[in-house]
Amino acid sequence: MDKKIISTDKAPSAIGPYSQAVETGGMIFTSGMIPVIPETGEIVTGIEAQAKQALNNVKSLLEAAGSGMDKVIKTTVFIKDMNDFARVNAVYESFFDKEAGYPARSCVEVARLPKDVLIEMEAVALK
């Protein structure tokens, strides 16, 4: 099976030995996206702003791969504090179409994330 490496400057660049995303078998698998502003490298503050930036980064990466948020079938959300769950959900919901059906999702609390951010998200989408 062939694989295609996806890369864009509209999402944070990889900070280790991994690709931003990989396409194979008509599917896109993103790496975890943290709330870094790609143009400046700065990290936004507050859980809502971080959730929105992380989702915008996922969106930009999927669009670079010829996909989009409407084709997401599964996400994984890593949050530093499960007490932020409701606030993350409010932002998350705004990126998906309820009528089309939300993607499957896992959400886990973690001890620490890269650059000490509050949230990281990854997605699996159809091409």
Report the CATH number that the domain containing residue 111 is assigned in CATH: 3.30.1330.40
Catalytic positions, written as ranges: 107
pLDDT of residue 14: 86
Residue carrying structure tokens 């502003």 = 37
The structure's pTM equals 0.95
Report the alpha-carbon distance of residue 96 to residue 107 in Å, rounded: 16
Please determine, for residue 37, whether its predicted confidence score (pLDDT) is greater than 80.
yes
Can you give the C-alpha Rg of the chain in angstroms? 14
Range of the domain at 9: 3-126
Lowest mean pLDDT among 79-83, 91-95, 96-100, 115-119: 96-100
pLDDT of residue 100: 86
Mean pLDDT of the chain: 96
Q: Give the pLDDT band (50/70/90) at residue 5.
A: very high
Please determine, for residue 121, whether its predicted confidence score (pLDDT) is greater than 80.
yes
Give the number of domains in the chain: 1
pLDDT of residue 67: 97
Read off the pLDDT of each residue in 87-110 and give the average, rounded to a whole number: 96
Burial of 79 (0-12, 13-18, 19+ CB in 10 A): buried
Please determine, for residue 49, whether its predicted confidence score (pLDDT) is greater than 90.
yes
Taking each helix axis as running N to C, give the angle between helix 85-93 and helix 47-64, from 0 to 180 degrees, rounded to the nearest 10.
40
Please determine, for residue 1, whether its predicted confidence score (pLDDT) is greater than 80.
no
